[in-house]
Amino acid sequence: MIRFTRVTKTYPRTGTAVQDVSLTVNKGEFVFLTGASGAGKTSLLRMVYLEERPTSGEVRVAGTSSVTATARDVAKLRRKLGIVFQDFRLLEHRTVEQNVSFALEVIGAPTAVISGKVNRVLTQVGLASKGRAFPRELSGGEQQRVAIARALVNDPFALIADEPTGNLDDRATRGIFQLLREINAAGTAIIMATHNLELIRRQEFRTIEMARGQIVFDSAEPSATPKPAP
Amino acid sequence: MRPIRDAFETFQRAPLLSALSVTTIAFSLFALGLFGLVALNIREALERLEDRVEIRAFVAEGTPPEDLVQAANDIATFPEVLSADLVTQEQALKRAQSELGEFRDVFEGAVLPASIDLRLKPGLRDPATVKRVADRVKTYSFVDDVRYGEEWIEKLYRLRNISGIAGLVLGVVFAVVSVIIIGATIRMTVLARAKEISIMRLVGATDGYIRRPFLVEGFAKGVLGGLLALALTWISQTLINKYVIHTIFFDARVAVLGLLFGALIGLLGSAVSVGRHLRRAWWCALVAALVLVLPAPATAQSAEARIRAQREELDRIRRERADLESRMANLQGNVHELREEVANLDRQREATERVIQTLDRQLTAITKDVDETSARADKAERELSSRRTTLQRRLVDIYKRGPLYSAEALLTARSFGELVARYKYLHELATQDRALVARVQTLRDQVTRQRADLVRLRSAVEENRMDKQLEEERLARLRGERTTNLQQVQRSAQQILDRLAALRASESRLTNVIAAIESERRRSAATRPNAPRETSTLRTSDLGRLEWPVEGTVLYRFGRVVNPNNTTTRWNGIGIAAATGTGVRAVAPGTVVSVGQLGTYGLTVIVQHGAGDYSVYASLNSASVRTGGAVRKGDMIGTVGTSDPDLRPHLHFEIRPQGRAVDPESWLRGAR
Ligand SMILES: Nc1ncnc2c1ncn2[C@@H]1O[C@H](COP(=O)(O)OP(=O)(O)O)[C@@H](O)[C@H]1O
Ligand SMILES: [Mg+2]
């Protein structure tokens, strides 16, 4: 469903961020992506939703190829993906409901279905009672729940979360992680970049570790043993 | 519908920014519109100008009319010529008066050249054709000047081409500027919504979808800006029409086109800005400065002030003199003494003299002023005639240039400054000339009036001076008279005094002489004591009985006499008037004791009558007795003569009994 084939990403000024990565993520899978800061996690994720195109190699996501995709194809693809960031990226001047419904409106969803979908997804993330609040009136964990709700409202097949708990305290982190697990349980694949090793260690999910742009460990590989850093 | 709602929302959310961008667009389109108007009007004007291209062949004076008619007919058959009309001198004058209405009066009586006016067929009004026809017309012997604006027709054609290109270039430039401005304003809204856009992209909105509200916004701003610009342009045009010059406005088609253009650049601007890459904003600034120089007005001065000052001075002196005159009158009334009168006369004369001197000075000044004013009047007159000539010449020239002379000025200018200068020059020159003529005329009239005033003033002053001169002479005469009088009186008084002194001296001498004689007689009588006692021949019985020593009237009597000039004289005897040479006789017998000159008494004979009594005969012409001689009563002792030039010939006669003078008349017979 998501396949990287010998993907290398080189930025003009900062050099190679991802080097020769090949990777497959299956439907409904929960993947942790770890590694030191600057290892290339974000770059890898950006290539998943085709914000960046590989310098060489190919990324295929749900039938969309990074080599051939048009801008329109990219837009279409993103409607089937949910994306969450460390900094939530909510619209300050809109209420929780409006932030969520915005994701439906801008892709031209029929007005009739919007409010129902928004209510359902807000209930799912546990914010049914705060639909009319503005983001600044919410705690960090709640704000991230709004972002997740917005990511989920289009029923994506996969949720891409780049350090979603990076700004949260332990309690909120556990809450968000719990929510993601529930989402995953409902069938949505999740790729979550994090360096909260504490969180990973207690889980049985697939873990991919990156260093200097390369995958140095993938728990899904049968022969996987942590490579020592050179 | 969402894009429209979104665009509307943008307006709502940032009304100030939106208004700003609309105004910015409006102003750039407004500038475009103004240039468009200028271009439009220039084209319109050029088209109309071309319609008026005409050749005027001015003919020499005195050409026979039938020749002209013949020539006009000839010329009308040229293939390029539409019409050829004959304009006679009278028609030329009428035309000039209507074309240059403000100079109607100046043309009065002017002679303007007759002409043949040619109009060319449409499409054959290009410079080359015009020149060819003009050259051909020039070959007529009686044509002495052909005017067709050779310079400006060429420029007209060039300008027509240039204005087309310039309009296009300007349009493109302003369109680009507008796109840049609109792009910049749209970019601001894009930036304001950057986060929203990124989220839209994230959740899978298509680029088209994201772009649409911005395009709608740009379009709306373009249309609004266009409308605003159209309104501004229309207002400007209306104002220009009202206050400056009549112009035409875009027709509806062009206006709609302009709106569409605005909308288009609005769209274009937003499309350019909604890219992912931000471009730098361009800032364009235009600064125009106009400097107006106002000429400072000049001031003039006149001699009037000086004349006024002199007049005041004269008045002052006159008052002074009148004062003196009245004092003089007072003096004349009260003072009788001649000296004071003379002194007063002197003062009066001096005052008069001063008046005359002042008048003289004034006369000199006024005469100088008159001369200067005359010179100025002459100069003004000369200037006036030269100005008039210039004005007439200029007007004839303007007439010859025809109704297009202002267009010619515009079109032949090589720079904007020159354009303004020449336009002003031609437009204003004649008016200025005319104003100058009027001004010079007024000046001349003023100067002439001033001169007449001065001349009048001068003659008044002259008259005054003459009066004063006469008065001075009169005063001088009067003073002379008074002085002579005074001198005479003084002299006569002195003479009298002198005479009185002399008389007194003579009298005392006589008394002394008699006293000496008496003392001598007494001494001799003493030496002869035995001699008989002397007796006087003048006896008391003789009182009133004695014969007169000479027959005549009494000139003066004994004692104190008051003279007519208030002096008094004491006489010791009487004066008996008689003709010179009349014989004088002794009044009683006696001895002559003295014959001789005795001061003012003249030749004097003293006779002693004994016992100290004497008689005195003075003012004699001659004496016929000698000292010591004896005389009898009635003996001739001399003749009457003159001793005092002031008195008639007379005998001074005294009787002195005992040496003391007594009134002889009491002794003489028949005292009268
Ligand atoms: N947009 C970008 N442009 C240029 N260089 C980038 C960009 N994003 C990341 N990089 C570079 O790529 C490398 C990997 O960065 P990143 O993928 O953000 O690492 P991580 O998410 O693991 O911390 C870094 O050295 C970073 O400097
Ligand atoms: Mg990162």
- Pick from B198, B199, B205: CB nearest A75: B205
Least confident of A132-141, B174-183, B247-256, B578-587: B174-183
What's the half-sphere exposure (Cβ side, CA atoms, 13 Å) at B478? 18
Cα dist. A31→A161, A190, B295 in Å?
A: 10, 6, 90
Concatenated DSSP letters for B77-96?
Answer: TSTTEEEEEEE-HHHHHHHH
Question: In this structure, is residue B292 part of a structural domain?
Answer: no
pLDDT of residue B496: 65
CA-based end-to-end distance of chain A: 32
Residue B555: pLDDT band (50, 70, 90) is confident
Indicate if B322 and B384 belong to the same structural domain. Answer: yes
Last residue in a domain, options B279, B309, B336: B279
Indicate if B485 and B630 belong to the same structural domain. Answer: no
- Pick from A71, A72, A91: CB nearest B199: A91
Last residue in a domain, options B495, B515, B541: B495
Q: Say whether the ipTM exceeds 0.85.
A: yes
Percent pLDDT > 70 in chain A is 96
Indicate if B61 and B134 belong to the same structural domain. Answer: yes
Least confident of A171-175, B241-245, B284-288, B538-542: B284-288
Q: How many domains does one find in chain B?
A: 4
Indicate if B371 and B491 belong to the same structural domain. Answer: yes
Q: Chain A: residue nearest B194 by CA?
A: A91
Question: In this structure, is residue B636 part of a structural domain?
Answer: yes
Average per-residue pLDDT in chain B?
Answer: 76
Angstroms from A139 CA to nearest CA on chain B: 21
B56 has a pLDDT exceeding 50: yes
pLDDT, average across residues B215-241: 86
Indicate if B338 and B480 belong to the same structural domain. Answer: yes
Indicate if B28 and B99 belong to the same structural domain. Answer: no
Instruction: For residue A3, give the H/E element and its range.
Output: strand A2-11
- CA atoms of B440 and B387, how far apart (whole Å): 8
> Which residues in chain B touch residue A160, judged by CB atoms under 8 angstroms apart?
none
For residues A52 and A43, the answer to whether their CB atoms sit within 8 Å is: yes
Question: In this structure, is residue B599 part of a structural domain?
Answer: yes
Q: What is the residue range of B117's domain? A: 54-147
Indicate if B126 and B232 belong to the same structural domain. Answer: no
pLDDT of residue B296: 25
Note the pLDDT tens digit of each residue in A4-50: 999 999 999 999 999 999 999 999 999 999 999 999 999 999 999 99
Surface-to-core class of residue B609, CB atoms within 10 Å of its CB (0-12 exposed, 13-18 middle, 19+ buried): buried
Give the number of the ligand closest to the Cα of residue A12: 1
Residue B414: pLDDT band (50, 70, 90) is low
- Tell the residue number behind the tokens 């994090």, with chain if given: A194
Indicate if B229 and B377 belong to the same structural domain. Answer: no
pLDDT of residue A229: 43
pLDDT of residue B176: 79
Indicate if B195 and B324 belong to the same structural domain. Answer: no
B54 has a pLDDT exceeding 50: yes
Residue A17 gets which letter from DSSP? E
Q: Which residues pair with B585 in a beta bridge?
A: B636
B205 close contact with A: CB closer than 8 A: yes
- From ligand 1's centre to the CA of A18, what distance in Å? 9
Percent pLDDT > 90 in chain A is 83
- Ligand 1, atom 3: nearest CA belongs to which residue? A11
pLDDT of residue A21: 95
Note the pLDDT tens digit of each residue in A60-97: 999 999 999 998 899 999 999 999 999 999 999 899 99
Q: Is the CB of A41 under 6 A from ligand 1?
A: yes
Least confident of A108-117, B359-368, B432-441: B432-441
Specify the 3-state DSSP secondary structure of B236.
helix
Q: Is the CB of A86 under 6 A from ligand 1?
A: no
